Amino acid sequence: MQTPTLLDRLRSVKSYIELPVTAKVEHRRDRSRGLGADPGIDQCVSAAMGWLCRAQDRSTTADGGVARDFSLVTGWGPSYPETTGYIVPTFLEVGEAQNDPALIERGRRMLDWLVAIQLPGGGYQGGTIRSTPVVAVTFNTGQILLGLAAGAKRFGEPYLGAMHRAAQWLVESQDADGAWRKHPTPFAAPGEKAYETHVAWGLLEAAAVAGNERYAEAAMRNMRWALAKQQRNGWFSDCCLSDATQPLTHTIGYVLRGIVEGYRHKRDDDLLAAARRTAESLLDVVGPDGFIPGRLDSRWRPTVSWVCLTGSVQIAHCWLQLAQIVGDERFVAAARRVNSYVRRTVRVSGDEDTRGAVKGSFPVWGDYGSYQYLNWAAKFFVDANRLERATARGAR
């Protein structure tokens, strides 16, 4: 990790001085108190689902989508198509598990909005609904496809038609080697992205719903292309939004989840071996308390001192999935530590704008989603904790 220079420190002081009071309070809380007590899985899942409902209700665009974030600096944000897409399956699954029609109806409102904003060719825009330019983007379309597939499976039309349009657009825009290069996001660094295995997963879900092997074949082409970017130690090149030399655990979580899901759908041994290489190397990164640094270099060394909480729970979820597949209890133990660490950053009482919310970074001033509570962080947090709870019950 680089040692901050005097100029870095001065900039940090200036940034702090300019913060609003609420952000300063949270800054001081994280600095002075650190991690809190672990509220437990049930309280955290309930609170996080409540916060996601509030994020849907408080979106500044009031359109049925889920607000990108609640910021301690600027307040609630506009709806975010990409993450609303993969929040849909969480609402449908939790609603079904809890026999809660209100959660299922919320998921359907999200789906109706996603159908309404689909671009003419079948793709979806990058960024929030207010972002410009409005251009179809591979990654965002793949994430929304996860929601459309879940909607099509449960409800049928109009989500089935929207699912096919999105899936066909992805298949038709794919290069022959399996990569997607034609429709990059304008909101990330240019270049190939190994973590688009998370797009391939969307195609696999669509293939399972529709019985369309063309979708699955395109997904597997991308998976094989991504495996060529994996080093012997499990690290992936070209796997970050902004700096491929030190990828975020968030994008590491994306590439790993896509590969795990590829194996779950297709039982390809190469995918399982690749997933295990990455997952086993990550075991050496996690601390006794569940701390995982938010960025890691090609030798799995930390390059920052803060935690990307989203990435932590994504990785925990993948460990738990792999434990179900290969029966390695090391993955379960590591996932429990990491999930507990993130739960200790979440408050289950107090202000409703932050109750049950998950910060972009811990401490709150870290460089991923600084001073923001992110909707996708809460979504992955719910998923990882629900899987941990299911794993514990299955062990009894």
pLDDT, tens digit, for every residue of 94-113?
Answer: 999 999 999 999 999 999 99
CATH code given to domain 233-396: 1.50.10.10
Is residue 4 predicted with pLDDT exceeding 80?
no
Taking residues 301-325, what's their average pLDDT?
A: 98
pTM score: 0.96
Per-residue 3-state assignment (H helix, E strand, C coil) for 8-55: HHHHHHHHHHCCCHHHHHHHHHHHHHCCCCCCCHHHHHHHHHHHHHHH
Architecture of domain 80-228: Alpha/alpha barrel (1.50)
Is residue 293 predicted with pLDDT exceeding 60?
yes
Residues of the chain with CATH 1.50.10.20: 80-228
Question: Whole-number mean pLDDT of the chain?
Answer: 96
Q: How confident is the model at residue 7 (pLDDT cuts 50, 70, 90)?
A: low
Could you tell me if 63 and 113 are in contact, meaning their C-beta atoms sit under 8 angstroms apart?
A: yes
Q: What is the pLDDT of residues 167-201, one digit of tens each?
A: 999 999 999 999 999 999 999 999 999 999 999 99
What is the per-residue pLDDT for 312?
98
| Continuous segment of H or E residues that includes residue 374 | strand 372-374
Taking residues 216-237, what's their average pLDDT?
A: 98
What is the per-residue pLDDT for 16?
81
Is residue 396 predicted with pLDDT exceeding 60?
no
What is the per-residue pLDDT for 18?
85
What is the per-residue pLDDT for 272?
98
| Closest by CA position to 124, among listed 163, 76, 78, 67 | 163
Q: What is the pLDDT of residues 339-349, one digit of tens each?
A: 999 999 999 99
Q: What is the pLDDT of residues 30-55, one digit of tens each?
A: 999 999 999 999 999 999 999 999 99
Q: Which residue has the tokens 């190469």?
A: 270
Q: How confident is the model at residue 15 (pLDDT cuts 50, 70, 90)?
A: confident
Taking residues 275-280, what's their average pLDDT?
A: 98
Is residue 230 predicted with pLDDT exceeding 60?
yes
How far is the CA of 329 from the CAs of 38, 380, 392, in angstroms? 22, 21, 12
Taking residues 262-272, what's their average pLDDT?
A: 98
Q: What is the CA radius of gyration of the chain?
A: 20
Residues of the chain with CATH 1.50.10.10: 233-396
What is the per-residue pLDDT for 393?
76
Q: How confident is the model at residue 13 (pLDDT cuts 50, 70, 90)?
A: low
Q: What is the pLDDT of residues 110-165, one digit of tens each?
A: 999 999 999 999 999 999 999 999 999 999 999 999 999 999 999 999 999 999 99
What is the per-residue pLDDT for 3?
61
Q: Which of 2-11, 74-83, 277-286 has the lowest mean pLDDT?
A: 2-11
CA distance 340 to 280: 20
